[in-house]
Chain A
Amino acid sequence: MSYTIKVNGTARTVDADGDTPLLWVLRDLLDMKGTKFGCGLALCGCCTVHLDGSPIRACVTPLAAIGSKEITTIEGVGETATGKKVQEAWLALDVMQCGYCQAGQIMSATALLNQKPQPSDQDIDNAMSGNICRCATYTRIRAAIKQAAGMPTADTREV
């Protein structure tokens, strides 16, 4: 069946079953490899994209459920003011190790900052704990979110 979805501002038509997860539509039908596969069960956050600005897990979002909602992926998030700031902060703080999860981290972080421009450490924990980083670059992800928000990057959690 044919579906037309809006990805990063562009209408894209794909021929696939309606139960095909958005992740595989993006990766294998639209050749947008930035959104990553990690678990297939919305447990790791690698495949996070925005649906009308809200972070969702593309691996469990069926193509048929998208309708006219706008999808933003890592390939397009840099076109938004917040997304660009987040990408720049990720580079400035050299967040990456293997980098595999970072597209999902950036998408979750961007959604957080759109909702809470000055997040607390608790806000960061709440918004980011669905995104696993196997290399455990959490220290720098936390700092980079603060940097993108224009806040001091120090870890202020009480220890």
Chain B
Amino acid sequence: MSTENIRDDAGAGLSRRSFLAASTAAGGGLLLDFSFPTVAPAVAPAAHPAAAGGTINAYIRITPDDTVTIICKNPEIGQGIKTAFPQIIAEELDADWKNVRTEMAVVDQAKYGAQFAGGSFSIPMNYDALRRAGAAGRQMLMTAAAKSWGVPVSECSTTAGVVHHEKSGRSLKYGELATKAAAVPPPDLKTVALKDPKSFRIIGQAIGGVDSPLIVTGKPIFGIDTTVPGMLYAVFEKCPVHGGKFVSANLDEVKALKGVRNVFVVKADDAGAGPYVGMQMGMFDGVAVVADTWWQANKAAEKLQIKWDKGPHADHSSAGYDRQAADLAKKDPVKVVRSDGDHKKAFAEAPLKVEASYYYPVVSHAPLEPMNCTADVRDGKVEIWAPTQNPGAGRGLVAKTLGIPPENVTIHVTRCGGGFGRRLSSDFIIQSVMISKQAGAPIKLLWDRRQDLQHDMYRPAGYHNFSAGVDKDGKLVTLRNHLVTFGIGEKFNDSATFSPTEYPARLIPNIELAASPIPFAQPTGPMRAPGSNGFAYAFQGFLDEVAFAAKKDPMDFNLAILGEPRVITVPPGPFGPMPPYDTGRFRGVIEAVREKSGWNKAGLHALARQGGGKTPSGPRTGMGFACYYCHLGYFAEVVKATVDDQGAVRVDKVWVVADVGSPIVNPSGALNQVQGGVLDGTGQALGLAINIENGQATNTNFHEYPLLRMNQAAQVEVHFLPTNFPPTGLGEPALPPVIAALANAVFAATGKRVRRLPINPAELKTA
């Protein structure tokens, strides 16, 4: 994850002010105003005008009718955070879950700290802090009750939504206490009493998604569903080669079409220029068509004839990238990311040498809800309704582009119809803002599918050139990977190159990780398990080859690499201290998946089949294994796949063992994330690639970008190891290893290595 790119409001001031404070909400109620790690009085409630009974600058609001409203600080993109975060707070608040309502927070860094959905960070970054927020609320309610009874607070206790004084048999409901509790000085969050996890009754429950009843009845909760008074609809046509400049167009002709209010050019600013910007793209040239309905805008936009200056990248192609990568692979790498020991010497001396190259293509995020944003720019202020994963960055970009203070930019974060990293970028937000500004009206910008596939910040392609040496005992002693990927000079594109800790670094004596860049015509950015989604395939695919050559079971081979259970210290990350890398936890998932998948007994892995492909006829079935650590989660996965005579691959079943610590905040959501992530990975491996020709993506819709469908979806059996480590996130880490496990299963089934994605059935046909 390129976390350095997740920035919050550029100018929010970050005065580290309100630690925890309370004020009375309009209508009477408890308002916990809370952010961390900060230390002084509350944000004045006047700055956040309250509707009766409801203000948005708090995690917890309790009204006299016993309704507990819990604010979710981070965007909901399908990862379930709008359910999980309130579970954490409600647990420590000791609320009655059936009285809990949830609300999405607006963007307010001073109050909530970083607000984004990315890197599977939501749980590890917030689990402890949100527990304390809930516990503080419980403490204040107990204090209020004790005061009204004239008893020591130490004699009070709570059950779901009620404070009790056992000695006198009295009790008060949270709703009855809310107004008084709001006046209680908040406790110190560092020392507030937390529950014993053994007594959890909300955390750890498989609670259904809080928005689900609205979803199954079709209520308007997604960004695309936004309607504001006086709103017009916009389509924005950009240069298909990123960063191209507008030259001329038949604007007047299109302006005359039915329903069209306006057609105009929006010009790039500096932030939008150039193809090598990271995920935080600014504005770049395009033509806006504004109409009474989206369909009219879209129909009119089809009549646009735009002449572009496509710039210097209009001759780029996927085939060209392949050729450049092949050339660079033969040369010395431009940048050495890590060098331990002496690979050259160790490789020369190794009794067994293996060399191979692995490739994965450019892919697009393709969330099902196309990019869209509603914006209203007026009187130096901007109001935005956006399905975004990264509202703080969006707010900062808008403020910077318009030259106004961030306080003048309000972002309402809607539910997102999928994220996968795409909505960490704010290009669609700034576009809608600039179109609204120029149109002088609130507008809803909506991209169509072609635009969504052709204007992504893509997952970069990677060409991995490996060599490895194995000693006489069959143990990996050296590995080199020369990765060719996108970048210029020594600067690599977002999410393109590996970190110096890439497995098996730190575990073997000799390793060289190095990279060389190819300039790419389009922007790149993080996609679900960025980096890892490709690296796991390449490394674990190659290591499976090495293990096979060494006549080792790949699980044993990886266990030997990991060595004895121990922890390896990790330097602090962008959000603070990082937990150590724990080879014992890694071993644990591998050993468990061996058992759960029936690996030894089935006899379908490559070694057991002695190379596969020797089955004389009929379906060829094999099992493959891979393991990976990313986003603080340890995963080991086994795929069983069948390849027919025509080379068509069917993924039959996937076994997953995960160690993401404990507790699992919501086991239903957790299982869904793992099953979905694993199937997402199989879908990528089976069919997804963005093809670049003439500097632009040629894929226009799902017939050219075949996402996984029901008839391809494997069974996925998931086991969580309940280890005693703090809980970590699940949006991402299940995905990466499955691609390698599938590639390795195809080898076991056919004897043919999958060294290039997506899997090409033509290469797997029987003769």
Contacts and interface: CB of A to CB of B under 8 A. Distances in A.
User: Does chain A bind chain B?
Assistant: yes
A120 B587 CA distance: 40
B53 interface: no
A159 B80 CA distance: 30
Given A131-B710, A139-B716, A75 B218 contact: yes
A134 B528 CA distance: 12
B703 A43 contact: yes
B449 A38 contact: yes
A43 B448 CA distance: 13
Contact of A36 (B258, B369, B672): B369
Contacts of B673: 97
A32 B707 CA distance: 27
B238 interface: no
Nearest to B220: A33
A98 B220 contact: no
Given A134-B366, A134-B707, A136-B683, A99 B676 contact: no
B701 A36 contact: no
B334 interface: no
A151 B226 CA distance: 38
Contacts of A130: 709
Interface string B707-718: 111110101100
A63 to B, nearest CB: 10
Nearest to A74: B218
Contact of A41 (B420, B679, B703): B703
A94 B710 contact: no
Contacts, number: 188
Interface string A4-21: 000000000000110011
Nearest to B702: A43
B369 A78 contact: no
B123 to A, nearest CB: 16
Contacts of A73: 218
A46 interface: yes
B493 interface: no
A102 interface: yes
Contacts of B446: 37
B370 A136 contact: no
A125 interface: yes
Nearest to A101: B368
A53 interface: no
Interface in B684-717: 701-703, 707-711, 713, 715-716
Contacts of A78: 216-217
A34 B220 CA distance: 6
Contacts of A136: 675-677, 679-680, 683, 708, 713
A132 B368 contact: yes
Contact of B713 (A36, A94, A99, A138): A138
A44 interface: yes
A20 to B, nearest CB: 5
Nearest to B449: A39
B212 interface: yes
A56 interface: no
B369 A100 contact: yes
Interface string B417-435: 1111000000000000000
Nearest to A87: B216
B679 A40 contact: no
B79 interface: yes
Contacts of B222: 33, 36, 100
Chain B: interface size category: 35 or more
A132 B711 CA distance: 11
Given A38-B368, A96-B212, A132-B368, A32 B218 contact: yes
B658 to A, nearest CB: 16
Interface string A97-116: 11111110010000000000
Nearest to B417: A100
B653 interface: yes
A35 interface: yes
Interface in B345-362: none
A54 interface: no
A37 B215 contact: no
B618 interface: no
Contacts of B224: 33, 36-37
B182 interface: no
A137 B672 CA distance: 7
Interface stretch (B203-211, B315-323, B530-538): B203-211
B406 interface: no
A159 B653 contact: yes
B753 interface: no
B640 interface: yes
A1 B79 CA distance: 44
B368 A44 contact: yes
Contact of B216 (A21, A91, A131, A139): A91
B255 to A, nearest CB: 18
A41 to B, nearest CB: 5
Nearest to A23: B295
A148 to B, nearest CB: 12
A98 to B, nearest CB: 3
Contacts of A40: 448-449, 701
Contacts of B366: 134
A141 B672 CA distance: 11
Contacts of B79: 97
Nearest to A38: B368
B34 interface: no
A65 interface: no
Given A91-B208, A138-B713, A141-B710, A28 B294 contact: yes
Contact of B233 (A28, A35, A41, A128): A28
A98 B219 CA distance: 14
B701 A125 contact: no
A44 B366 CA distance: 12
A101 to B, nearest CB: 5
Nearest to B651: A159
B669 A94 contact: yes
A36 B417 contact: yes
Nearest to B653: A159
Nearest to B642: A159
B80, B416, B708, B713 pick with most chain A CB within 10 angstroms: B713
A3 to B, nearest CB: 14
Given A24-B293, A33-B225, A125-B710, A103 B215 contact: yes
13 contacts: A27-B294, A28-B233, A38-B368, A75-B217, A96-B211, A98-B415, A98-B417, A99-B209, A100-B78, A134-B680, A136-B680, A137-B672, A159-B715
Given A39-B702, A40-B449, A90-B216, 7 more contacts: A34-B218, A43-B701, A43-B703, A75-B218, A99-B212, A129-B709, A137-B676
Interface of B: 77-80, 206, 208-209, 211-213, 215-220, 222, 224-225, 227, 233, 258, 293-295, 366-370, 415-420, 446, 448-449, 640, 652-653, 668-669, 672-673, 675-677, 679-680, 683, 701-703, 707-711, 713, 715-716
For the complex of A and B, list the 8 residue pairs with the smallest distance between their C-beta atoms, beginning with the closest.
Answer: A34-B218, A98-B78, A100-B417, A74-B218, A136-B679, A138-B713, A97-B78, A33-B220
